[in-house]
Amino acid sequence: MEENTQDTTSAVSCPTEIDPTESMASTTTLDAAPEAATLPECSSEVAPSFEERQPAPKEIDYEKAFVEYLRYERNMSPETIRAYEKDLYQFLRFFSRGDGTIIDPAKITTLQVREFLAQLKEKNYQKTTVVRKLATIRSFYKFLLRKGYVTGNPLTDIETPKVEKKLPHFLSTDEVEKLLNAPQGHTFQSIRDRAILETLYSTGLRVSELTALNTTDLDFTAEVIKARGKGRRERVVPIGSFALQAIKRYLEVRIQVPRTNDRDPDALFLNRFGDRLSSRSIRKILDKYIKVTGLNQKTSPHTLRHSFATHLLNRGANLRMVQELLGHKHLSTTQIYTHVTTDSIKKQYEEAHPRP
C-alpha cells in the first residue's frame, strides 16, 4: 500500500497547498469510501484502486495455532506440548528451501511425507520415535482440516509402522526398598529426596504430576493427594503412611529454604533456591541413587510407576482400580501390566515347581 502511494506522489508535480480531502485520500483506510480516493488535477496517472489499497491478509502461523489448540482446547501438559512442537518443527523444516521459509501445509503431498519418513529411517530413528512423530503430524492435519485451513490430508494413505509393545521395566520389592532407603542423612536434599521417592512409589504418580504438586494438594487426615494428570484431569490418589511420614519430615525442613519465587508459593518439592523442581531435576536425583544402589541403569522415575502398578496386581488388586489410580483414560493402557504379572508368575512357577 505504501509503495502505491509513494509512486503516485513522486510522479505528480502538484501545488504546494493541497486540498485536505486529497490529503485524506492518500491515507485512506478500510472504513473510508472509495470515492474519497481522488487525485490532484495536475496528475495524469491513475489512482490505486480500493483493492490495491487493502493490506494483504495476515499469514496464519499454523504452528502457533496448533500449539494453542493443544494447550487451551486439549489441555495437554507442557511436556507433551513440547514434544509435539519439536516433532512438528522438524517435519515442517524438512521442506524448507534452506532460507528458513516454511512451506504451506496444504501444499505438502503424500510423496513428500514418504520422503520425510525415509530420511528418518536413514538416520536410524527407532520405530517408536517414528510412530510418535507420525501421530503428531496426523493430529496437526486433523486440526487444520477442522479449522478449514486445508482441504486434504497427505497422511491418509500413510500406514503407521507396527511396533512390538515392550513390557515395562519394573523393580522387585527388595530393589524398591533398597532405592527408598538410599537417601541418608539430615540435610535438606536427603530428606527431600526420600520424600520424593516414597511419594512416587506410594502413589504411582507421573513425574509431571509430582512436580505439579502443591502443599494444598495434601490431605493428611484423609491420607490422599490431589493429582493433576494428562489433559489437566484431576484425580484423588491414596498415599501410604511411609510416604506421608517422609513428606511431614520434609515439610519441617522446607521452611528453611529461602523463597525467591513469590508467584509460586505453594510448590511442594523445591530446589535449594526455593523454586519448584522440574522433571529433569527429578531424573538427576534418581540417577544419583541408582549409582549408589547399583540398580539397573534402565531405571527411571517412570520405573517406580511401573513397579507400583505391577506390585498391586501381583497382590491381587483389581485392574479397574489400578487404572483409576494411574489415571489411565483407557483400560487397554493398564492391561500391559497384566502381561508383566503373568510373566512373573510363570517365572516363579518354573523356579519353584519340581517338574516345570
Q: Point out the residues that are catalytic.
A: 206, 230, 302, 305, 328, 337
Lookup: cell for 143: 486440526
- Is residue 233 within 8 A of residue 246, CB to CB? The reply is no
Q: What is the DSSP string of 150-201?
A: -S--TTTTPPPPP-PPPPPP---HHHHHHHHT---SSSHHHHHHHHHHHHHH
Determine the number of helices (DSSP H) and then strands (DSSP E) in the chain. 16, 3
For residue 234, what is its C-alpha cell? 484431576
CB 195 within 8 Å of CB 239:
no
Measuring CA to CA, which residue among 262, 294, 9, 56 is closest to residue 175? 294
In angstroms, the first-to-last Cα distance of the chain is 85
Number of neighbours of residue 191 by Cβ within 10 angstroms: 20
The DSSP H or E segment spanning 50 is: helix 50-53
Q: How is 254-270 classified by DSSP, letter by letter?
A: HTTSPP--TT-TTBSSB
Secondary structure element (H or E) that encloses residue 219, with its range: strand 218-219
Task: Tell which residue, 219, 214, 189, 218, has the closest CA to residue 285.
Answer: 189
Q: Going along 222-310, which residue ranges are E strands? A: 224-228, 234-238
Going by DSSP bridges, is the β-strand pair 218-219/234-238 parallel, antiparallel, or unpaired?
unpaired
Q: Are 240 and 180 in contact (CB under 8 A)?
A: no
